[in-house]
């Protein structure tokens, strides 16, 4: 049993039976439910996913993978979620799974008992959550907050605006970051509390995403919606890294997907009497794409093995910044690999690659979004330099 | 069969203590960086003695069969010992071709007589091995080998030459690919594979001076060299298959090597250290934003290569393009190493221009020499460009290049 050997060695990469099973199911599910024709069809719909399909995902138990059993989940971790997200990314499957999963992690980390018992079973069961973290300044630092919450009796008065709130149109619940008395705070906002017109669709580069701006001005929510069970700043940091981890998974999947799209063309398209994949000018960069992906997947599963979503990132037990290093490397490497593979995919399709009809652009747009959200490679390398040098 | 964590920990402590205790003192001259750079008798004697010492202590060939001189133990022990050699940066095992290519090949397909004759002496460095694959006109195109082997009764007569024979001046034996039949349908069918003694009449290894100014290779001439047909490994005319098998050991696609460290290891840690001392515009280079970015990129790449080896052992995570990590390993590692050496030079500012032999050369000029020697990795054993063809065709399934 390779897993057991790995365990004995306390290896940098562990891959459990559960992960293997989840990955297998997610692979066939994504391939069946999200063929490229469906992806394109869904791009013009209001939500990134149909409700029926979301219900199937909930029925598979994927939304509760990282939620403890006492709250209706299966008590695994984000490492297991990685092995679901990667195959989804491969098929450009779009859904609020990442946001919903991470919202649950936030509630687990800094919610009180009432909030946990109210929301976690719902999120495990199919309610949709959206993360409202980014702001108009575009700074990847999630603690750079201009949105505010002010206590007003039993209420909180909110102000400011959030951006890049994906699938806000489908969401039942929002996890929101604000500045409160100058310090970061996290709170929950129910979709039913939002006034008409609070959400505004954004036109974004990845057309498989449904992104919204959220206007908080004039909005008032119960003070009990605040998440006060832990350090909000540390939770935001964990949330940032967890998003990077799952984006890295999505990007690794996407890289494999776009390599396959390109290989299909290189082995069927003939020019000058040869399949074009026989030309070394195309073959060699495909090998570069593959080695880039291999490195990305290795970083990814290492990060998946050691990442812990917690509010204490100060370095207890020597864990320290080790998982932060792993996650940042995983995101940076995956972004570079996906950028290269999808950029070359367009080029290697020749004139067809220049058309909207060619699928290469779908992957390239996905790659750009994933790199541009939550820190590009250079940004992560800069933070890694601080951690390593 | 696996060993318990406690056994592992105990062995780890033992091997760590042994290497700490027994690592050889700095000889006072620059040691070669791998078996491809052994250029003086002094270097050779030093390395051969060191390998013998490691073998006698029981830390080489630990998983090879006991009856032929191996340790007969679980591979995990050798992996621990090898990792310790890497970690402690001890000198490398100079009999690389014997330990990593010829030895596993003989154990895999040689008759008992060959195992008995060669295996123990490979481990103890009593017999040094070299490889006769490349020829002056056929470097990466191995199947085109033209050195002739003509059967004469129960002997073969060898004529022609091989080139880039590492350790050619010192080797006792050679793995040799030669053409025993010129009348075949394809070039691959007429080849035979021999294990031949080097110190016999008619073999003349002539040293080649490398781009670094060092020696280490020979062109090896064969003039009516007579060897018995018992030197064959594999069937006569089936040498290509044996050569391909050898390459799987050489490129570490197959396991079964004797273990041990096989080149002077470089790591980004050393380059980071250098960046702390190097100056840029009056400040330590490590404070320079661009230098930091580059250092981190090298660290990421190094970490990725290391993690690749671990992931490759987990079937569930390495099944999509089977063999991709192993088949690309030489390509990715050798290219990384070349670029790291190059980057290390750039950190030295104007002192980057000093070379081995200059008193002011940083680290004795080993980064300059390392950069040049790194091309042995990106060229030897099939150039990076050939490797990309191989990975593109066998792993990605792209059509063969003309």
Distance (Å, whole) CA A241 – CA A263: 33
Asked whether the beta carbons of residue B296 and residue A333 sit closer than 8 angstroms, the reply is no
pLDDT attached to residue A316: 47
Count CB atoms within 10 A of the CB of residue B209.
11
Question: Which own/partner contact pairs does A274-277 have at CB distance under 8 Å and 24+ positions apart?
Answer: A274/B399, A274/B402, A275/B399, A276/A348, A277/B392, A277/B398, A277/B399
Asked whether the beta carbons of residue A389 and residue B295 sit closer than 8 angstroms, the reply is yes
Distance (Å, whole) CA B264 – CA B286: 25
Residue B194 three-state SS:
strand
Q: State how far Cα A331 lies from the chain centre.
A: 11
Asked whether the beta carbons of residue A381 and residue B300 sit closer than 8 angstroms, the reply is yes
Question: Which residue does chain A place closest to B9, by CA atoms?
Answer: A9
Instruction: State percent of chain B over pLDDT 70.
Output: 99
Q: Which helix (H) or strand (E) holds B305?
A: helix B289-311
Residue with tokens 């890049």: A164
CATH superfamily of A232-388: Butyryl-CoA Dehydrogenase, subunit A, domain 3 (1.20.140.10)
Q: Which two tokens stand for residue A99?
A: 């946001």
Candidate from B2, B304, B399 with C-beta closest to A277: B399
Distance (Å, whole) CA A58 – CA B298: 42
Is the pLDDT reported for residue B144 higher than 70? yes
Predicted TM-score (pTM) of the model is 0.89
Distance (Å, whole) CA B122 – CA B238: 25
pLDDT tens per residue, range B151-164: 999 999 999 999 99
Distance (Å, whole) CA B223 – CA B230: 20
Distance (Å, whole) CA B333 – CA B262: 14
Q: Which helix (H) or strand (E) holds A202?
A: strand A199-202
- Do you know the residue count of chain B? 402
How many Cα atoms are found within 13 Å in the side-chain-facing hemisphere of B14?
13
Question: Which residue does chain B place closest to A264, by CA atoms?
Answer: B398
- How much is the average pLDDT of B302-312? 95
Q: What is the least distance, in Å, from the CA of B269 to any CA of chain A? A: 10
Count CB atoms within 10 A of the CB of residue A312.
13
Distance (Å, whole) CA A276 – CA B398: 9
pLDDT tens per residue, range B108-132: 999 999 999 999 999 999 999 999 9
Candidate from B293, B397, B401 with C-beta closest to A280: B401
Pick from B387, B394, B381: nearest CA to B142: B381
Task: Give, in order, the Cα–Cα distances in Å from A41 to each of A48, A262, B224.
Answer: 10, 22, 74
- Residue pair A142/A175 in contact by the 8 Å Cβ criterion: no
Count CB atoms within 10 A of the CB of residue A203.
6
- How much is the average pLDDT of B192-196? 97
Query: Which residue stretches of B209-256 are H helix?
Result: 239-250
How many Cα atoms are found within 13 Å in the side-chain-facing hemisphere of B197?
11
Contact residues on chain B for A272, CB-CB shorter than 8 A: none
pLDDT attached to residue B255: 85
pLDDT attached to residue A1: 29
Delimit the CATH 2.40.110.10 region(s) of chain A.
131-225
pLDDT tens per residue, range B383-402: 999 999 999 999 999 999 87
Q: What is the least distance, in Å, from the CA of A320 to any CA of chain B? A: 18
Candidate from A286, A295, A298 with C-beta closest to B398: A286
Least trusted range by pLDDT, from A299-308, B68-77, B253-262: B253-262
Residue B130 three-state SS:
strand
DSSP conformational letter for B316? G
Domain A2-127 class? mainly alpha
Segments making up each domain of chain B, as ranges: 1-264, 268-395
Q: Which helix (H) or strand (E) holds B43?
A: helix B41-56
Asked whether the beta carbons of residue B402 and residue A277 sit closer than 8 angstroms, the reply is no
CATH superfamily of B1-264: Butyryl-CoA Dehydrogenase, subunit A, domain 2 (2.40.110.10)
Domain A131-225 has CATH 2.40.110.10: yes
pLDDT tens per residue, range B344-385: 999 999 999 999 999 999 999 999 999 999 998 999 888 999
Asked whether the beta carbons of residue B308 and residue A294 sit closer than 8 angstroms, the reply is yes
Q: Which residues in chain A land under pLDDT 70?
A: 1-10, 311, 313-320
For residues B16-36, one letter each, b for 16 or more C-beta atoms within 10 angstroms of the residue's C-beta and e for the rest, the string is bebbeeeeeeeeeebbbbbbb
pLDDT tens per residue, range B199-255: 999 999 999 999 998 888 999 999 999 999 999 999 999 999 999 999 889 877 788
Residues facing B196 on adjacent strands = B174
Delimit the CATH 1.10.540.10 region(s) of chain A.
2-127
Asked whether the beta carbons of residue B303 and residue A329 sit closer than 8 angstroms, the reply is yes
- Residue pair B84/B12 in contact by the 8 Å Cβ criterion: yes
Delimit the CATH 1.20.140.10 region(s) of chain A.
232-388
Asked whether the beta carbons of residue B399 and residue A2 sit closer than 8 angstroms, the reply is no
Contact residues on chain B for A275, CB-CB shorter than 8 A: 399
Q: State how far Cα B56 lies from the chain centre.
A: 22
Question: Which residue does chain A place closest to B269, by CA atoms?
Answer: A389
Pairing of strands A173-180, A129-132: parallel
- Do you know the residue count of chain A? 389
Pick from A158, A152, A192: nearest CA to A176: A158
Candidate from A6, A275, A286 with C-beta closest to B314: A6
Task: Give, in order, the Cα–Cα distances in Å from A360 to each of A92, A250, A259, A364, B261.
Answer: 11, 16, 10, 6, 44
Q: What is the least distance, in Å, from the CA of B380 to any CA of chain A? A: 18
Judged on CB neighbours under 10 Å (0-12, 13-18, 19+), A202 is middle
Which candidate in A281, A298, A305 is best for mutational testing of the B interface (most B CBs within 10 A)?
A298
Distance (Å, whole) CA A30 – CA A47: 17
- How much is the average pLDDT of B17-22? 96
Q: Which fold has domain B268-395?
A: Butyryl-CoA Dehydrogenase, subunit A; domain 3 (1.20.140)
Distance (Å, whole) CA B305 – CA B325: 9
Q: Which helix (H) or strand (E) holds B220?
A: strand B217-228
Judged on CB neighbours under 10 Å (0-12, 13-18, 19+), A233 is middle
DSSP conformational letter for B315? G
Pick from A385, A96, A51: nearest CA to A250: A96
Pick from A189, A198, A177, A276: nearest CA to A224: A189
Q: What is the least distance, in Å, from the CA of A207 to any CA of chain B? A: 28
Residue with tokens 């995902």: A57
- How much is the average pLDDT of B44-55? 96
- Residue pair B61/B77 in contact by the 8 Å Cβ criterion: no
Contact residues on chain A for B325, CB-CB shorter than 8 A: 294
């Amino acid at each position: 049993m390779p897993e057991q050997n790995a365990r004995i060695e306390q290896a940098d990469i562990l891959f459990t039976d559960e992960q293997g099973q989840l990955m297998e199911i997610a692979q066939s599910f994504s391939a069946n439910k999200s063929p490229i024709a469906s992806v394109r069809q869904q791009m013009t719909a209001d939500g990134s996913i149909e409700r029926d399909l979301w219900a199937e995902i909930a029925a598979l138990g994927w939304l509760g993978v990282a939620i403890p059993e006492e709250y209706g989940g299966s008590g695994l971790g984000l490492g297991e979620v990685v092995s679901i997200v990667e195959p989804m990314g491969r098929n450009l499957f779009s859904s609020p799974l990442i946001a919903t999963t991470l919202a649950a992690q936030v509630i687990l980390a800094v919610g009180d008992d009432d909030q946990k018992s109210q929301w976690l079973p719902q999120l495990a069961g199919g309610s949709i959550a959206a993360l409202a973290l980014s702001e108009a300044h575009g700074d990847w630092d999630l603690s750079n907050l201009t949105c505010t919450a002010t206590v007003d009796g039993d209420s909180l008065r909110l102000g400011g605006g959030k951006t890049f709130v994906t699938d806000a149109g489908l969401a039942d619940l929002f996890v929101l970051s604000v500045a409160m008395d100058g310090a970061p705070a996290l709170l929950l906002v129910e979709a039913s509390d939002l006034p008409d017109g609070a959400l505004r669709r954004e036109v974004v580069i990845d057309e498989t995403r449904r992104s919204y701006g959220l206007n908080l001005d004039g909005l008032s929510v119960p003070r009990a919606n605040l998440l006060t069970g832990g350090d909000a700043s540390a939770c935001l940091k964990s949330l940032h890294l967890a998003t990077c981890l799952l984006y890295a998974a999505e990007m690794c999947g996407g890289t494999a997907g776009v390599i396959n799209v390109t290989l299909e063309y290189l082995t069927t398209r003939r020019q000058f009497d040869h399949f074009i994949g026989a030309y070394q000018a195309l073959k060699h960069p495909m090998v570069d794409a593959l080695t880039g992906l291999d490195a990305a997947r290795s970083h990814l599963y290492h990060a998946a093995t050691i990442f812990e979503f917690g509010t204490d990132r100060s370095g207890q037990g020597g864990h320290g910044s080790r998982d932060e290093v792993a996650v940042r490397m995983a995101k940076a490497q995956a972004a570079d690999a996906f950028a290269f593979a999808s950029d070359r995919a367009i080029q290697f399709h020749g004139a067809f690659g220049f058309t909207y009809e060619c699928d290469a652009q779908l992957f390239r747009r996905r790659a750009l979004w994933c790199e541009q959200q939550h820190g590009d490679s250079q940004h992560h390398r800069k933070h890694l330099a601080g951690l390593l040098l | 069969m696996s060993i318990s964590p406690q056994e592992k920990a105990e062995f780890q402590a033992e091997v760590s203590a042994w290497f700490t205790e027994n690592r050889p003192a700095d000889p006072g001259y620059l040691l070669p960086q791998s078996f491809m750079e052994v250029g003086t008798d002094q270097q050779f004697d030093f390395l051969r003695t060191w390998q013998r010492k490691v073998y006698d202590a029981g830390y080489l060939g630990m998983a090879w069969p006991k009856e032929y001189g191996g340790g007969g133990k679980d591979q995990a022990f050798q992996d621990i010992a090898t990792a310790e050699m890497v970690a402690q940066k001890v000198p490398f095992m100079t009999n690389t071709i014997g330990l990593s290519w010829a030895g596993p090949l003989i154990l895999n397909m040689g008759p008992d007589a060959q195992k008995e004759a060669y295996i123990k002496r490979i481990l103890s460095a009593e017999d040094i091995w070299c490889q006769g694959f490349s020829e002056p006109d056929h470097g990466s195109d191995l199947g085109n080998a033209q050195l002739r082997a003509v059967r004469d009764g129960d002997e073969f007569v060898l004529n022609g030459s091989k080139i880039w024979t590492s350790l050619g001046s010192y080797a006792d034996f050679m793995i040799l690919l030669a053409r025993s039949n010129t009348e075949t349908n394809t070039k691959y069918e007429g080849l035979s594979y021999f294990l031949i003694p080097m110190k016999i009449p008619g073999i003349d290894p002539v040293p080649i001076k490398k781009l670094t100014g060092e020696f280490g290779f020979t062109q090896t001439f064969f003039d009516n060299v007579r060897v018995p047909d018992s030197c064959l490994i594999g069937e006569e005319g089936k040498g290509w298959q044996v050569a391909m098998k050898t390459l799987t050991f050489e490129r570490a696609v197959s396991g079964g090597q004797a273990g041990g460290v096989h080149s002077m290891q470089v790591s980004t840690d050393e380059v980071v250290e250098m960046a702390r001392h190097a100056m840029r515009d009056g400040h330590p280079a490590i404070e320079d934003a661009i230098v930091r970015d580059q250092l981190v990129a090298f660290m990421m790449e190094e970490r990725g290569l290391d993690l690749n080896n671990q992931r490759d052992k987990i079937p569930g995570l390495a099944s999509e393009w089977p063999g991709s990590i192993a088949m690309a390993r030489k390509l990715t590692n050798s290219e990384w190493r070349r670029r790291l050496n190059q980057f290390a030079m750039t950190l030295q500012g104007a002192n980057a221009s000093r070379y081995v032999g200059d008193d002011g050369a940083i680290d004795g000029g080993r980064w300059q020499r390392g950069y040049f020697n790194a091309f042995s990795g990106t060229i030897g054993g099939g150039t990076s460009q050939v490797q990309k063809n191989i990975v593109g065709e066998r792993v990605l399934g792209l059509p063969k290049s003309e």
